[in-house]
Amino acid sequence: MGRGKKKHRRKPELSLKARFLAWFWAWWPVLRFGLKFGAALALFYALLSTSFFDRALYSYLEANAWLANAILSGLGQPTHVSEVTIESPQFAMAIRRGCDAVEPTWLLCAAMISFPAPFLHKLRGMLAAVVLLQVLNLVRIVTLYWIGIHLPGFFNSAHMELWPTAFIVVAIVLFVAWKESSPRLESHAAV
């Protein structure tokens, strides 16, 4: 008998069903997140198409214009508001749909809702996200007004490229920071 020769037993191959179930349960947390996130986005875009949301959004846009005007007036700018338009003798700009931080706020909150974390942690994260993104939006409106007066050639780039990118980066950073601060759940039965 030779030393070192061992009989190797081959593991029985798993059935297709067993392999699929192993794959499915290994990826279930990611799939669950994707399904919840997708459902939240579908809800948002369904709400976005309603006349109620349109009316509510217009009121919200008026509030953004009023708040930005108050900041600009506090900074010594001779501005006034007419509905959703901030005007001065030098420059005027209208706050329109898409200039409201609603979409990045919803996307961030949808990601937080979809992530497996305790409910109170989700709630605190969403409240902080709403406040931070709305403050950032006011900063955006004020800086765009300033750019419109002092650097009008840069206005479109700042409005269409720089600020949207900034919102994406800030939303990602907020989500990662929130996720990293999330307490670890002991079970897979996350809310």
pLDDT digits (tens, 9 = 90+) for 37-68: 999 989 988 988 899 988 999 999 999 999 99
Residues 73 and 25: their CA atoms lie apart, in Å, by 57
Of 15-19, 80-84, 148-152, 180-184, where does mean pLDDT reach its minimum? 15-19
Residue 22 has pLDDT above 90, yes or no: no
Average pLDDT over residues 126-146: 96
Q: What are phi and psi of 10, to 5 degrees?
A: -80, 135
Q: Which pLDDT score, from 0 to 100, does residue 25 have?
A: 76
pLDDT category of residue 137 using cuts at 50, 70 and 90: very high
Residues 6+ apart with CB under 8 A from 26: none
| Domain residue spans of the chain | 30-180
pLDDT the model gives residue 188 = 46
Candidates 101, 118, 110; CA nearest to 168 is 101
- What CA–CA distance (Å, rounded) separates 182 from 190? 12
pTM: 0.78
